[in-house]
Amino acid sequence: MTIADNLHQVQQQIEDASKKASRTANSVTLLAVSKAQEINKIEQLYQAGQKLFGESYLSEAIDKITALQHLDIEWHFIGPIQSNKTRDIASHFSWVQSVDREKIAKRLNDQRPDDRPALQVLAQVNLFAEASKQGSDAASIENLLSFISDQPNLTLRGIMSIPPATADHGQQREQFAKIAEVYQQMRMQFPSIDTLSIGMSGDMIAAIEQGSTMVRVGTALFGERPANWKQKLKAN
Ligand SMILES: *Cc1c(COP(=O)(O)O)cnc(C)c1O
């Protein structure tokens, strides 16, 4: 299968899952997660029609963004954010999906270059108390959203979450239902938000059933990331 075949297959799966959930296919946006994948594969996917790409590791991301600046790609930052990295994130990305605390939101706001439109922001929530993952808990999410929405150079778009990995469809559904409930509550407080970013290669069908508006898909589009990719990325 070529990369273009993978894209068409994932698009078909999104369409089928949307129909099953009585939703229109275009209510779910596909973000291609290209971390640890080669630049020429990103280009192939772009030529096949994919415009939104997500990256998690900043130095790798900046190399790719620079190499591909002739393409009309919308870049999303989806990885953990250290405060000394906010300036580069604010200047290279259109969206940041992993804002988990006010300090980071404030720095991204203050460091967004004047000549770029407002940074599109999702707050990352972690409802399952997983220490290995960033994210605001349910009790603090409303304050975080409120803080983000007060920043002039940020546009609050919604929430992102990565629940515990499981192959069990019922458990995936339960976890996503819990996140979707928080999203719906927040939508009552912040009516302009429109993005619930949940679902990856292994669980995007359950996420779409539960109301995802954006799935973040890597492996199903690009194939497996290379062995020991984490060590390689951390080394640079
Ligand atoms: C890597 C990653 C994905 C994509 O995961 P796949 O299983 O390859 O689809 C999605 N979201 C985040 C935040 C990631 O880091």
Render pLDDT for 82-124 as a digit per residue (tens, 0 to 9). 999 999 999 999 999 999 999 999 999 999 999 999 999 999 9
Q: What is the largest CA-CA distance in the chain?
A: 46
Question: Per-residue confidence at 236, pLDDT binned at 50, 70, 90?
Answer: low
Answer yes or no: is pLDDT of 12 > 70: yes
State if residue 134 touches ligand 1 by the CB under 6 angstroms criterion: no
In a domain, 106, yes or no: yes
In a domain, 236, yes or no: no
State if residue 217 touches ligand 1 by the CB under 6 angstroms criterion: yes
Percent of the chain scoring above 70 in pLDDT: 99
In a domain, 229, yes or no: no
Q: 128 alpha carbon to ligand 1 midpoint, in Å?
A: 18
State if residue 218 touches ligand 1 by the CB under 6 angstroms criterion: yes
Residue type, 196: L
Domain count, the chain: 1
**Residue of the CA atom closest to atom 7 of ligand 1:** 201
E strand residue ranges, 16-92:
29-33, 52-55, 74-77
On whether the CB atoms of residues 136 and 100 are closer than 8 A, the answer is yes
Which residues, 6 or more positions from 75, have their beta carbon under 8 angstroms from its beta carbon?
53, 54, 55, 61, 65, 92, 93, 94, 95
Q: Read off the pLDDT of residues 128-142 as tens digits, 9 standing for 90 and up.
A: 877 777 888 888 999
- What pLDDT was estimated at residue 137? 81
- What pLDDT was estimated at residue 26? 84
In a domain, 155, yes or no: yes
The sign one gets for the Cα dihedral 222, 224, 230, 236 is: negative
Give the C-alpha separation, 226 to 232, whole Å. 10
Give the C-alpha separation, 195 to 157, whole Å. 6
Domain region containing 125: 3-224
Q: 151 alpha carbon to ligand 1 midpoint, in Å?
A: 28
Among 9-23, 25-39, 44-58, 218-232, the range scoring the smallest mean pLDDT is: 218-232
Answer yes or no: is pLDDT of 235 > 70: no
Report, as an integer, the average pLDDT of 64-87. Answer: 98
- The CATH number of residue 174's host domain is 3.20.20.10
Q: Read off the pLDDT of residues 178-190 as tens digits, 9 standing for 90 and up.
A: 999 999 999 999 9
Q: What pairs with residue 135 in β-bridges?
A: none
Give the C-alpha separation, 102 to 165, whole Å. 27
